[in-house]
Amino acid sequence: MKEDFKKRTVISPDGKPIEIDPVKDYFSDAKPKVYKPAHPVIEKFANWARANSLWVLGFGTGCGAIEMRPLMTPRFDAYRYGIQWRPTPRQSSVFVISGYLSVKTLKRVVRTYEQMQNPKFVIALGSCTINGGMYWDSYNTINRLDHYLPVDVYVAGCMPRPESLLTGFEELKKIIKEGRGEGANKYAENFDWYKANQKKIIKDWDMPDYNW
């Protein structure tokens, strides 16, 4: 556990010592909940709306992030499909895992994913997220992303071109419109399994278990 997260006594502005426990005081330790879908008509409308405004988190985890730059600039211009990039996880609904994930990055990815609001979707880009790709025998990169996060769409390739990523977004739209984009609920249902897998890999777990 990091020094910042340890229980300690501090002097408050009025001169009294108070005990603080950062993990409990600053973060939620409640498990995520499964959200039941609303009335079918409302849900269908909501899904239509969600599918047409995909906000992508601007977090490039691996080499695939280079494909997102041409996608957001005029050459491929993903904005015409209602896809735009956001700077913070609180505003975004799509997480593009772009390529390989080292253990160090996975820790940040898990934390970021949990900070995103429901409903949230994951696009796994490149072969590395499927079976490890060219880093399949590396000591430091994970092999299968779906053991740590629920994945909605895989885009295979090394690296996939921006066109493939656009197709992936179109596929994701289809999935959301059909009401199958239930990644966040799947994560909540199998929370213990996902956590166990994450903790098996991330040896120095120095953050709260669920930290949004």
Partner 1 sequence: MKDIIDRIKTKYTISEVVEQRKNLSFVTVSKEQAISIITFLRDIEGFKHLVLLTAADWIENDKFQLTYLLNNPTEKIDLGVRVFISRENASMESAHHLWEQVATYQRELKEMFGIDFPDSPGVDKPFILEGWEDIPPYRRDFDTKQYSEDTYFPRPGRESNDPAEYMKKKLYPNE
**Which positions touch partner 1 (CB under 8 A)?**
102-104, 107, 130-132, 136-144, 147, 197, 200-204
**Angle at which helices 40-51 and 162-177 pack, to 10 degrees?**
170
CB of 144 to partner 1, least distance (A): 5
Residue 17: CB atoms within 10 Å: 8
Q: Tokens standing for 102?
A: 């080292």
Residue with the two structure tokens 């966040």: 184
> Please, which residue, 56 or 142, has the CB nearer to partner 1?
142
Structure tokens at 61: 């985890």
Q: In angstroms, what is the minimal distance from the CB of 136 to partner 1?
A: 7
In the bound state with partner 1, the residue whose beta carbon lies nearer, of 46 and 201, is: 201
Output the six-digit token pair for 109.
Answer: 């990815």
Residue type, 169: F
Helix (H) and strand (E) counts in the chain? 8, 7
* Minimum CB–partner distance for residue 139 and partner 1 (Å): 4
Q: How far is the CB of 107 from partner 1 (least distance, A)?
A: 7
What's the chain's Rg over C-alpha atoms?
Answer: 19
Q: Cβ closer to partner 1: 169 or 187? A: 187
Are 101 and 126 a contacting pair, CB within 8 Å?
A: no
Tokens of 67: 């494909």
Q: Which is nearer to partner 1, 145 or 184 (CB)?
A: 145
- Give min distance, CB of 185 to partner 1, in A: 22
Nearer to partner 1, 47 or 105 (CB): 105
Whole-number minimum distance, CB 152 to partner 1, in Å?
18
Q: Which two tokens stand for residue 149?
A: 């996060």
CA distances in angstroms from 101 to 109, 122, 142, 205, 209, listed in the order given: 9, 14, 6, 17, 20
Which residue's CB is nearer to partner 1, number 124 or number 176? 124
